[in-house]
Amino acid sequence: MKAALDNFLKNHADAFVRYRRKKLKEIENLINPLLEEVKKLDGKFDFEMVNPKSFYTIKSPIHYEVLLIFHGVDPEEISVEDGQTPAGFALAKLTGKKMVSKWKFCSGNSNPSKVYMSAKIVREKLFELVNRVISSSSFLESLEGSNFCVEVVDDDDVISMRVSGQDVEAYSVDLIPAIPYPGRWVLSAHAWESKQADWMSKTLKEEVIKTGFHLVARPSPSRSSYQWQIDFPGPMRKLLEIDMGCRIKCLLILEIIMGDMYSQRDACDSFQLETLVLRITEHYPVKSFWSEEKFSKRFLDTIRELQRCLSERHLTQIFIPGVNLFRDFDKLSLKSCEEVVQSVLENPENFLNTFELFQYTTAL
């Protein structure tokens, strides 16, 4: 079994990683000029330039999500209220005079004595700005080697850029505005903060918490225009960087296998798979449990845990236990994922030895 896992990585990992880096570089080269033009139209919408350390979620080889991190939004002047909202969501109350003056247009019809920043209005305004830039003939002409077409759509309350062209494989990128809160934590994640960490030192856990959280403009299950999703991309990255032996290889194999389902827009994405692997780490919190000798066992444990989560349609977020990452999984996508996992478990060695990487990667 271990030989099959090693051969799988030898045959597929390099091409998979190269494809991912190539695609993220393409996205970076497209989005950064766009963000520069957006800022020229409205200086309030000033975002960090996208770079290799930006926060991406890879939905599939042809569907990506990138967090656009606000500059000039002072988190010290935005109070986060997460006590009366759905799990994983919060209200952003503007408290400083400068922030109220600058962003009151995004408060809609909220109580004038309590000015809340509307995620929906921020998203709609950004969509308007992006659309204006994309509609400008000079924008695409200014891009180096731009033999492609870009359209922007408001797809189910998500700003999505769709790229296509004669020499470009079609893909889409979701643009998600995000407010950073470095060094801050939220009430709803207090349980994770206070519980004993079996697989990291107290100092390391403090470093994870210091990376803070983000409020991101994703739609709320309550459809409230004022609720922002609480996201932890920095802490997730920090946890995954901890050396736990073969854990990262188990994650990479999972990403390659599930990435093969490129036609399934709602298949398990990179964030869900990372969460799954961190959950398994809680079951096996000692590095020796992830030694090379236990590579086969840990991989099968990970696949079985994915099977269980799919069957129960439930994957708990690491930091806020009330958040189910499989809540919006549609039945067809769920069934497809279950079939793939089942085919792995029926004969793991045969599956690994006969696996063929998806067409986009092999075209490199």
Mean of pLDDT over the chain? 90
The confidence score (pLDDT) of residue 363 equals 45
Domain region containing 78: 1-354
Position 364 in a domain: no
Closest CA to 324 of 336, 303, 309, 307: 309
- Report residue 306's pLDDT band, with 50, 70 and 90 as the boundaries: very high
Tell me the residue length of the chain: 364
CATH of residue 193: 1.10.1410.40
The per-residue pLDDT for range 150-184, each reduced to its tens digit, is 888 877 689 999 988 777 778 899 999 999 999 99
The residues near 232 (Cβ < 8 Å, ≥ 6 apart) are 189, 213, 214, 318, 319
- Report the alpha-carbon distance of residue 72 to residue 62 in Å, rounded: 32
Q: How many domains does the chain have?
A: 1
In a domain, 147, yes or no: yes
226-235 pLDDT, tens digit each? 999 999 999 9
Residue 289 domain flag: yes
SS (H, E, C) 274-321: HHHHHHHHHHCCCHHHHCHHHHHHHHHHHHHHHHHHHHHCCCECCCCC
Residue at 107 is within a domain: yes
Q: Is 338 left (phi over 0), alpha (psi -120 to 50) or beta?
A: alpha
Tell me how far apart the alpha carbons of residues 335 and 67 are, in angstroms, rounded to a whole number.
29
288, part of any domain: yes
Flag whether 360 is in a domain. Answer: no
Q: Is residue 38 part of a domain?
A: yes
Q: What is the pTM of this model?
A: 0.93
The answer to the question of residue 256 being in a domain is: yes
Taking only the tens place, the pLDDT of each residue in 1-30 is 999 999 999 999 999 999 999 999 999 999
